[in-house]
Amino acid sequence: MTLDTNLTRETVYIDGTWTGSDSGQTIEVNNPATGDIIGTIPNCGRGETARAIEAASLAFPAWKAKTAEQRGDLMHKLCDEIMANLDGLAQLLTLEMGKPLAEAKGEISLGVKYIRFFAEEAKRVYGDVIPSPWPDRRILVTKEPVGVVGAITPWNFPNSMIARKLGAALAAGCPMVIKPSEFTPYSALAFGVMAEKAGLPKGVVNILTGDAAAIGAEMCENPVLRKITFTGSTRVGKLLAENAGKHMKKISMELGGNAPFIVFDDADLDKAVEGAIASKFRNSGQTCVCANRIYVQDGVYDAFADKLKAAVEAQLKPGSGFDQGTTQGPLINEAALGKVEAHVADALEKGGSLKTGGKRIDVPGTFFAPTVVTNATSDMKVAREETFGPLAALFRFKDEDEAIARANDTEYGLACYFYTQDLGRSFRVMEKLEYGLVGVNEGVITTEVAPFGGVKDSGLGNEGSKYGLDDYLNIKYSCFGGL
Ligand code: ADP
């Protein structure tokens, strides 16, 4: 499988033009399922980023001046192009990222749903007329696009992490400069090809690859860029937030998680196992909302552990994303695999018992066997850090208060899940969990119509839904006097 140049490029997209880096340097991109090099991308730095920001700022007035419907029409055309090329784009995504082809298609289709949702939502950027305390004055509140937006995105959802940012930005009237992960740049560059086909004005969408620190620094420090939206690690998010704060820029941050998944004695165990498989092992455990700590109440602990082990062994099939029946692609790289190995070794050293899996798979790519470890305890690495891989660690608890306290005992606050059939408990626990996203008897809850965002060290702001558009808008208060 090679790169389809009808769908992507090995150059970057600035001001409607495809170009290399100023230095001529490139970065190699590999296929995590085989280790093969699939192509190169330009190694851009601050200069190219500044030019992309300039191009976006020149495109801003005309983009902002379009009606919501006109912007929406172009966004729908972009979606039509993406859907017309769904198979090829999914192959590209699987090639560079490794996830099963069906999941790649699902991701791209969800990305399109985000863009279409925002294309419609643009028509509902309402203002306010506030009753005036003065007889001769009137108070008007309007909303305006924040201006040029910089987006920095990760590798685990190479398409949809961009789509949900780009959809909101374009709808609000903001041009965008996008820097994808160097591990999965081709799905991002494909947005440039699709934007061209759809007829988006030049400069409205710019995509560049290269030196992450240099590009990030230019985005933070260039006064023309007004907002940074980032999805990735808490470490990098804090760096960007600090630098953006110095320059008084708006930020949206979707950062790491350490999601608890709680199974109470009164849960429907089969549903809980189904949810745990979906939440823990989706994308081989590489999502920021993946269950990381599975807390199971005493009375059902052993039964749940047995059912989970059986389900893992029966349902999960590691392999190439291109092979029929594969559910578990490779991890993104050696470093990711090393982290899972370290978490498993640490858990076993500290008294955990291995129920299934536990080792890398002896093939050329970076594959790790889906793993279940019981007797997990709070002193283990898996209790404190996001594994970001296929390790299900089962912790035991006694009562509701203990489960809530342990679930909240983390600096993170993105997603959490719990299973119970007791209505009162479901409300009590939902209200006490300090998280931005709560799955009650559900393991996968992402949709474009609902807000997605974390609290505490998991970030700031929301993506998706009507709330997601607010992050790209400034509020303007106008007072009309002398009436
Ligand atoms: P992950 O661990 O998921 O790869 P990262 O936070 O390292 O998370 O990466 C997410 C995105 O942030 C990627 O596009 C990466 O290139 C970018 N990135 C990494 N370091 C920096 C930095 N210092 N400044 C700006 N962006 C960065």
Taking only the tens place, the pLDDT of each residue in 187-219 is: 999 999 999 999 999 999 999 999 999 999 999
Q: How far apart are CA 459 and CA 241, in angstroms?
A: 10
pLDDT digits (tens, 9 = 90+) for 51-60: 999 999 999 9
pLDDT at 472: 98
User: Tokens 């909302």 belong to which residue?
Assistant: 289
Q: Which stretches of 333-464 are DSSP H helices? A: 334-349, 381-384, 400-408, 423-432
Ligand 1: residue whose CA is nearest its atom 24: 213
Ligand 1 center to 45 CA (angstroms): 14
Judge whether residue 276 has pLDDT over 90.
yes
pLDDT, tens digit (0-9, with 9 covering 90-100), for 308-344: 999 999 999 999 999 999 999 999 999 999 999 999 9
Let me know: does 415 contact 436? Beta carbons within 8 Å: yes
| Residues 147/57, Cβ–Cβ less than 8 Å | yes
**pLDDT tens digits, 392-410:** 999 999 999 999 999 999 9
Q: How confident is the model at residue 7 (pLDDT cuts 50, 70, 90)?
A: very high
Q: Residue 420 pLDDT > 90, yes or no?
A: yes
Residues 6 or more apart whose Cβ sits within 8 Å of residue 189: 8, 9, 10, 11, 12, 13, 41, 180, 207, 209
Q: What letter would DSSP give residue 199? A: T
pLDDT (mean) for 28-43: 97
Residue 131: burial class (beta carbons within 10 Å; 0-12, 13-18, 19+): exposed
Ligand 1 atom 17: residue of nearest CA: 212
Catalytic residues: 254
What residues form DSSP beta bridges with 459?
254
What does the pLDDT read at residue 290? 98
Predicted pLDDT of residue 422 = 98
Nearest to 207 by CA among 223, 225, 195: 195
Pick 267 or 5 by higher pLDDT: 267
From ligand 1's centre to the CA of 48, what distance in Å? 18
Quote the radius of gyration of the chain (alpha carbons, Å).
23
pLDDT at 2 over 90: no
Atom of ligand 1 nearest to the CA of 179: 14
Tell me which residues have their CB closer than 6 angstroms to ligand 1.
152-155, 179-182, 212-213, 216, 232-233, 236, 239-240
At residue 309, the pLDDT reads: 98
Dihedral, CA atoms, 314, 319, 324, 325, nearest 10 degrees? Answer: 10
Nearest atom in ligand 1 to 181's CA: 14
Smallest CA separation from ligand 1 atom 14, residue: 181
Q: What would you measure as the largest C-alpha separation in the chain, in angstroms?
A: 79
pLDDT-based confidence at residue 459 (cuts at 50, 70, 90): very high
Which residue's alpha carbon is at the smallest distance from atom 18 of ligand 1? 212
pLDDT for 1 beyond 90: no
Q: What is the mean pLDDT of residues 113-139?
A: 98
Strands in 473-480's sheet, in edge-to-edge order, are 128-130, 138-145, 473-480
Question: What are the chain's domains?
Answer: 12-255+458-477 (3.40.605.10), 260-440 (3.40.309.10)
Tell me the CA–centroid distance for residue 424 and ligand 1, in Å: 41
Find out whether 304 and 277 touch, Cβ atoms under 8 Å.
Answer: no
In this prediction the pTM is 0.98
Which residue's CA is minimally distant from atom 27 of ligand 1? Answer: 212
Nearest-CA neighbor of 63 among 53, 74, 52, 54?
A: 74
How many angstroms separate the alpha carbon of residue 233 from the centre of ligand 1?
7
- For the CA of 237, the closest atom of ligand 1 is 6
Q: CA-CA distance, 394 to 151, in Å (whole number)?
A: 36
| pLDDT (0 to 100) of residue 148 | 98
Query: What is the C-alpha to C-alpha distance for residues 94 and 89, in angstroms, rounded to an integer?
Result: 9
Question: DSSP assignment, residue 284?
Answer: G
The helix/strand count (H/E) of the chain reads as 15, 20
Distance 138 CA to ligand 1 centre (A): 47
Whole-number Å distance between alpha carbons of 120 and 75: 10
